[in-house]
Amino acid sequence: MEGRTEYLRAQVAPAVPTVGPGPGLLGEAGSGEITHEDLDRARDRLAVERARRAGSGRISLVRRLWPLWLLVGPGILVFLGENDAPSMLSYAATGAQYGIGFFVPFILVTFLMAFVVQEMTVRLGAVTHRGHAELIFDRFGTFWGRFAMGDLIVGNFLTLVTEFIGIRAGLSFFGVPPVVAVGGSMLLVFGVILTHRYWTWERITLGLAAFNGLFIPAALFAHPQWGALGHAFLTWSPFPQGGLFKPDVMLLLMSNIGATVTPWMLFFQQSAVVDKGLQPRDIRAGRTDTMIGTLLAAAFGIAALVATAPLLAHGIKTEDYQAAQFAQALQPWIGRAGATCFALGIFEAGLLAAMTISTSSAYAFGEVFHRPHSLNRPLWEGWSFYGILLASAFAAGALVLLPNAPLTYIVLIVNVIAVLAMPPALLFLVLLCNDREVVGEHTSGRWGNIAIVTVTVLLIVAGLGYGLVTVFPKLLGGG
């Protein structure tokens, strides 16, 4: 028994971080005591090591890929979680208003930008064994830590509200009353965390995330013009009529960026990497996980746009429909089956994101206040972590039940807010990933820094452009 305990200790004890005390050390704040959380994480690591040993030599492809299957999760979840209700409804509004054209390749580019950002969180989590919020507090001090936390909490709560809008929207197609849709989803969020096991929570949410692929058959039912899709990818055209510098075009442009690159993703993926127990040797697998999530989310996002393109072709105005009613509007053109896929996809997008975004808030709260912050904790040990998770989800869900809210506008403007909040978050990320005292030999290289600086500049330019067009609509020819 003593030998097994020492083995488990070796599996869960990471290299001692260089930035402050906290739960990145073995046990509670490095006390050396093995907790329930440590044992669960150690079992996951043991499974990975066994799979690696079994995967060496001349064996089947399945056995070779098994270690990767055990290590993937945070990257796929963060991207399919970001393919949330406001994101998919933003793509839907774009397709309905502008059809297949400029925005199709634009969506792919925004996801590649997001990959550049999220890869950095994999390195930070695997090397430091610290969540993003904790690292900011430890490295930059209380003031900047509170600034980052305020940015995250406000953004997460507003986004959570839109997730429940999507849940209500998707299920309304099937005649489910809003109270039942929102209340039932809250129960599902609660039910999944009762497993008090990160591995189980991750696999359940990954299974749910697979239903984001329902937008693919919805797009196929729309009978897209494949030549037009190829032309859009090759030429980035046709451009929106009147150019990009129109208030409505800039709103969709910003909304589509905010559908891909948001602050909660940084906090969630880094904390999930820590909770999963990834080590520096797992960084390559973490990158693969993140790229898989990037490509899947991009394909599903483009499919949502393609599915609603028939609305433009038939002259139907999106403002005639609240966010929830896209499926109803599409039914005459893509059939009952296609509209059903679209409605279920919106419901899944909202439910998955409600789970991941509320978990992101709970992770950050626990890291900053040095409270238990792991899905491997039982409810009675991690009551503060689970309390924040559930409270944020329940409060957002309750707001959605208020009558006469402008649902479509709320969905679009929340994504815009996410874009405006992103540059400060990226600044912290760049500084941390270039700090040798934090990540050692895993600092960002020259091309990595060029890529992330380019992404940051593009986000700032987009934000300034949106502000100018909104305040001075005639300045750039957008009047």
Higher pLDDT: 64 or 197? It is 197
Q: Judge residue 319's burial from the number of C-beta atoms within 10 Å of its C-beta, 0-12 exposed, 13-18 middle, 19 or more buried.
A: exposed
- Residue 57 pLDDT greater than 70, yes or no: no
Per-residue model confidence (pLDDT) at position 142:
83
pLDDT top residue among 22 and 440: 440
Average pLDDT of the residues in 398-424: 71
pLDDT at 71 over 70: yes
Q: What is the per-residue pLDDT for 342?
A: 92
**Does residue 319 carry a pLDDT above 70?**
no
Pick the residue with more confidence: 471 or 233?
Answer: 233
Strand, coil or helix: what is 157?
Answer: helix
Structure tokens given for 29: 């704040």
Nearest to 65 by CA among 75, 46, 52, 76: 52
- CB distance 239 to 252 below 8 Å: no
Q: What is the pTM of this model?
A: 0.86
Q: What is the DSSP string of 84-149?
A: -HHHHHHHHHHHHHH-SSTHHHHHHHHHHHHHHHHHHHHHHHHHH---HHHHHHHHH-HHHHHHHH
What dihedral angle (degrees, nearest 10) is formed by the CA atoms of 452, 454, 459, 460?
110
Task: Answer yes or no: is pLDDT of 13 > 50.
Answer: no
Does the pLDDT value for residue 439 go beyond 70?
yes
Average pLDDT over residues 18-31: 43
The full set of domains in the chain, from first to last, is 72-471 (1.20.1740.10)
Report helix, strand or coil for 469.
Answer: helix
- Which among 251, 331, 253, 341 is positioned nearest to 304, based on CA atoms? 341
Q: What is the dihedral of CA 440, 441, 442, 445, to 10 degrees?
A: 120
Quote the pLDDT of residue 20: 38
268, 272, 343, 385, 390 from 187: Cα distances, Å: 22, 22, 20, 17, 10
Is residue 93 within 8 A of residue 408, CB to CB? The reply is: yes
Q: For the residues of 220-289, what is the DSSP string, one character each?
A: HHT---HHHHHHHHHH--SPPTT-S-SHHHHHHHHHHHHTT--HHHHHHHHHHHHHHT--GGGHHHHHHH
Tokens of 126: 């695997």
Total number of residues shown for the chain = 479
DSSP secondary structure, 383-412, as one string: HHHHHHHHHHHHHHHHHHTSTT--HHHHHH
Mean local confidence (pLDDT), 266-294: 93
- Across 321-335, 351-365, 368-382, the highest mean pLDDT is recorded for 351-365
Alpha-carbon span 409 to 247, nearest angstrom:
13
Residue from 19, 23, 31, 25 nearest 137 by CA: 19
What would you report as the CA-atom Rg of the chain, rounded to the nearest whole angstrom? 22
- Measured N-to-C along each axis, helices 263-276 and 407-433 cross at an angle, to the nearest 10 degrees, of 60
Q: Identify the three-state secondary structure at position 258.
A: helix
